[in-house]
Amino acid sequence: MLIHASHVLTMREGATSAPATLRIEGERITELAPYQGLEARSGEEVMTLDRHVLMPGLINAHCHLDYTGFKGSIFAGKGFTEWIKTINALKLSYTPDDYLAAIQSGFEQLKQSGCTTVLNIEAFPELLLRLGPPPIRTWWFLELIDLRNRIGQDDTLMGALTFFQGQPGWLGGFGLSPHAPYTSSVELYRLAKHCSDELGLPITTHIAESVEEQEMFLYGEGPMYNFLQSIGRDMQDCGQGSALSHLMEFGLLSGKCLSVHMNYLQHYDFQALRENPLNVVHCPGCHAYFGHARFPLEQLREAGCRISIGTDSLASNDTLDLRKEIRRARLNYPEVSAREWLHMVTTAPAQALGMESELGVIAPGALADLIAFPLPERTDPFEAVIQSQEAPVLFMVNGGCGS
């Protein structure tokens, strides 16, 4: 297939918008040439996109599709610990069929907003047995929590891995997600890191999300401390430093880990990050929902961290649309350009996955995950993508436009 497009954002380093023609063979982009620089072969399909922006599909770096049905169900005003209690109660009211419907609805919303890859935390891996191949490229991160039960995690893990390895036709991959330092023990993080190192799996985890988590780890007090103590968590790790330092001092986070939130950090955390920069995921809608302190975007970038954007779940956000997330986030960071924001939903998460030559970029050899939007008159092409509110006119995953 040949695509002639008037405005191509390759998202390669330093590249601006340019007219170009690309050839797609099978699942990959095989050639990239100046506009009309390739001739169609006999029988080859040709698409022309004039006054359109063509770019790599968007990558949502943090999502929980399980909770898509919880939109608008939880009142945020009572704080993070109350939110956790409420979602735990809601989860009990949901059947496996409800969760499957929620996942499918989430996929549909992602497709409608131009997202071709999602990094999804999966709390119920048994659901995968009933799920068909995902319609977009999906990394399933198995959620690991050992707050009450520290036995059998490795069985769960190996069972889930065995399942995934039996699904060769599925697009995407598999990873591990120790939930957060307040729900996952250091031993569990160590196990996850060991599996990650042995099997080459990405890891993601929530860190330093709320002021209540900060109070718990820094001072050994507050609503989260009291709640977790009441349900039997071993609280000896509290009152000894930040949530991040708690994990970094044991060497449990590495460049392969996507650290989600990172809203509440200490000066020594930034020092540690300068020595070991992490991939950080910012979730603007969830951040606004809880009314957190300003996300330290500038300090994290200055420390060498790579920032990606995720939507988190609809239990703490009103959208799975990354364009809306960028429009919301940029209000706080007017100095960040439209192009930089789009890197946070293409090349940055691709690099975090170690897939930078295959995802988040238009280049020969890259996977053909592509989207296109109309380009209004007198609008910058990068800006046009962020401002668009309609579904993409072209939505291609793995070289195919079906489903």
Residue ranges in contact with Zn ion by CB under 5 A: 312
CA distance 301 to 89: 37
User: Would you say 83 or 395 has its CB closer to Zn ion?
Assistant: 83
User: Would you say 122 or 369 has its CB closer to Zn ion?
Assistant: 122
CB of residue 62 to Zn ion, shortest distance in Å: 6
CB of residue 312 to Zn ion, shortest distance in Å: 5
Alpha helices in 232-315 (DSSP H): 243-248, 267-275, 284-290, 297-302
User: Would you say 114 or 310 has its CB closer to Zn ion?
Assistant: 310
Place of tokens 């999300």: 209
User: Would you say 213 or 312 has its CB closer to Zn ion?
Assistant: 312
Residues with Cβ within 8 Å of 296's Cβ and at least 6 positions away in sequence, in order, are 262, 263, 265, 270
CB of residue 67 to Zn ion, shortest distance in Å: 9
Instruction: Return the SS3 of 18.
Output: strand
CB of residue 208 to Zn ion, shortest distance in Å: 13
CB of residue 283 to Zn ion, shortest distance in Å: 7
User: Would you say 122 or 312 has its CB closer to Zn ion?
Assistant: 312
Using DSSP bridges, classify how beta strands 28-34 and 18-25 pair: parallel, antiparallel or unpaired: antiparallel
* Residue at shortest CB range from Zn ion: 312
**Quick one: which of 311, 286, 283 has its CA closest to 297?**
283
The amino acid that residue 98 corresponds to is D
Output Rg (C-alpha) for the chain, integer angstroms.
Answer: 21
323 within 8 A of 389, measured Cβ to Cβ? yes
CB of residue 326 to Zn ion, shortest distance in Å: 18
User: Would you say 174 or 395 has its CB closer to Zn ion?
Assistant: 174
Give, in degrees to the nearest 5, the angle at Cα 191 between 185 and 197. 135
